[in-house]
Amino acid sequence: MRRPEADTAARKAGEEAEAAPAPAYNNIARLACDRDGRIWLFARSREGTFHTPLGTVWVDYAAYYEGDRWTGPTILPHSDNLLYNSPAVAAHPDGGFLVAHSSDHRQSRHIVRGGGGVGGPPAGDPYDNDIFVSRLELAARPATLQLVAAASPPAAHASPSPATLEERTAVARARAHRISYGGRPLQLLRGEFHRHTEVSGDGGNDGPLEDMWRYAIDVAAMDWLGNGDHDNGNGREYPWWLIQKTTDAFRLPGRFDPPFTYERSVPYPEGHRNVVFAQRGVRTLPRLPKTQPEPVVSAPDTQMLYAYLRHFQGVCASHTSATDMGTDWRDNAPDVEPMVEIYQGARQNYERPGAPRAPTANDAIGGWRPLGFVNLALQKGYVFSFQSSSDHGSTHISYAMVYAEDTSRDALLRAMRARHTYGATDNIIADFRCRAGGRDYMLGDDFTAAEPPTLRLKLAGTAPFARVTLVKDNVEIHSLAPNQAEVEVTWTDPSPTPGRKSYYYFRGEQSDGELVWVSPMWITYQPAR
């Protein structure tokens, strides 16, 4: 829909100071027919990108087809709300329509900056959703409809693109993949838990909540996905309830089993973290005052988060750790923070300086905080596995891969606590093992070996691997250029230090630029006396 454009030349100085060229966005459209046979089009629409604490402003518009053209659109007052807020439309027996619609009055709570941080402006809370009923009617009888041929006919033999078919093959391979661990089979679950929607105050270009679930199930064919909206709507009850409800509504046991999640944002040096629960009903956690970068002391708010997670059996992961959203790693709790978001599709790779897709001071997205690189946390002795998630906008390049006993939420959380996860930018399969003391260990495990550890890695990529690199204790100690999609690596540490715990992980770089971060194993070499 296009509305008449304002005469920008007639504006006086200072008028509409925030107005900037921006296209109209239309979504969730529907057709309806009134008593007289007139065809109406209803759609949610927004112009510009100004924000409220709950996101951008969408309103209802209506247009009707008269003769051989559309008339309108006409705005429906008191319909400012989320995009995911369609009106109910019913033909009136006397002509026209009755339309039931709602408003949370976000248009009157206009703010200039984007939201999404720690809470929101307290003015105007709580947001009230009021229900309105409007009647649309036209006095004149409708003109005879005239059909107009489409500008181009639909494709007679439409089929999926080659890229789509390749992705489907990779997804099927990942879903069929099984490993044996501790005498039981584990399967690979593909997902992520940092997926924003319009509910976030900074999510103006993210889609509605329903589309997030459709993306996960129908487009990316994921096995699970977690919502990443800030405090599920800045801690307000209605969006929290809506996200909780849809997390269950879109659940397909055995096929798609999403956990209950949200992003909890605290600026550097404490850091943003994404929170995961297996059970429904846990409310989001308010904040304590933030600590300053200096001196480096434990943050009371982070310690409160850890206690909250222990109480409700949840886990969390820090994200974009080397940015203004990150942390200097002043706090850690391996029992409830077993993972880290090493890569984010909306931004960059926070593994270590100089790594593929890693930021520098000149090109960092979201601020430059080099004390937040993950290698520094590993050097401090922190023990966590890797995962990758999207944040805003990004699709198909962030995967949190989890080895779990089954597809259930409980199994997913158990696997996360065990650190049996890794991160990738494509549907790449990784199996990382080491045998010690008569048993096999896998990525994420922490154990003791009496012999110099022999590491075994298997990769199945979506393109040939140009480079595979082994990192031990922050040193790239071994690399190879296999130039094939399926890779097997066996490597024995030639110089382990007795009594020392070392970490080992692999990074794979495909020829098409896609990456996989195979999570560490922590091995204490303790030779027999």
Domain boundaries, the chain: 21-136, 163-294+318-414, 428-529
Token pair in block for residue 300: 């009371």
What's this model's pTM, rounded to 2 decimal places? 0.91
Residue 474 has a CB neighbour count (10 Å cut-off) of 12
Note the pLDDT tens digit of each residue in 460-505: 999 999 999 999 999 999 999 999 999 999 999 999 999 999 999 9
Give the separation between CA 217 and CA 177, rounded to whole angstroms. 19
Mean pLDDT of the chain: 91
Cα separation values, 250 from 223, 258, 309, 501, Å: 12, 8, 25, 43
Greater pLDDT, 401 or 120: 401
pLDDT higher than 60, residue 242: yes
Mean pLDDT of 189-218: 92
Show Cβ contacts of residue 312 under 8 Å, excluding neighbours closer than 6 positions: 277, 279, 282
Q: What is the CATH number of domain 163-294+318-414?
A: 3.20.20
Tokens linked to 402: 């989890």
Name the pLDDT band for 154 (thresholds 50, 70, 90).
Answer: confident
pLDDT at 7 over 80: no
For residue 132, pLDDT over 50 is answered with yes
Higher-pLDDT residue of 14 and 306 is 306
Q: How far apart are CA 366 and CA 318, in angstroms?
A: 15
Q: Looking at residues 412-426, what average pLDDT do you find?
A: 99
| Spatial contact of 111 and 52, defined as CB atoms under 8 Å apart | yes
Which pLDDT score is estimated for 112?
Answer: 47
Q: How far apart are CA 476 and CA 478, in angstroms?
A: 6
Do 79 and 23 meet the contact criterion of CB atoms below 8 Å apart? no
- What is the pLDDT at residue 109? 67
pLDDT band at residue 126 using 50, 70 and 90 as cut-offs: low
Mean pLDDT to the nearest integer, 114-139: 68
Instruction: Dump strand ranges (E) for 405-473.
Output: 421-424, 429-436, 439-442, 446-449, 454-472
Residue with tokens 């031990």: 472
* Predicted local distance difference test score (pLDDT) of residue 50: 66
What's the pLDDT at 478?
A: 98
- Count the Cβ atoms, other than its own, within 10 Å of residue 165: 11
In the chain, the percentage of residues whose pLDDT exceeds 90 is 78
Geometric angle at alpha carbon 1, from 146 and 115, rounded to 5°: 160
Residue 121 has pLDDT above 50, yes or no: no
Q: How far apart are CA 291 and CA 297, in angstroms?
A: 8
Is the pLDDT confidence value at 128 over 80? no
pLDDT of residue 157: 86
Of 114 and 240, more confident: 240
Q: What pLDDT sits at residue 34?
A: 93
Look at residue 106 in the predicted model and tell me its pLDDT. 84
- Token pair, residue 278, equals 């297996």
Q: Give the pLDDT mean for 297-320.
A: 99
Beta pairing class for 315-318 and 339-344: parallel
Indicate the SS3 state at residue 51.
strand
Q: 20 falls in which pLDDT band (50, 70, 90)?
A: very low
Tokens 């393109």, residue located: 463
The Cα–Cα gap between 296 and 319 comes to 20
237 versus 429: the higher-pLDDT residue is 429
Q: Is 443 left (phi over 0), alpha (psi -120 to 50) or beta?
A: beta
Position 377 pLDDT exceeds 90: yes
CATH topology of domain 428-529: Immunoglobulin-like (2.60.40)
**Is pLDDT of 420 > 50?**
yes
User: What is the per-residue pLDDT across 27-59, written as a single tens digit (0 to 9) for each?
Assistant: 999 999 999 989 999 999 987 766 677 778 899
312 pLDDT above the threshold of 50: yes
Residue 10 has pLDDT above 70, yes or no: no
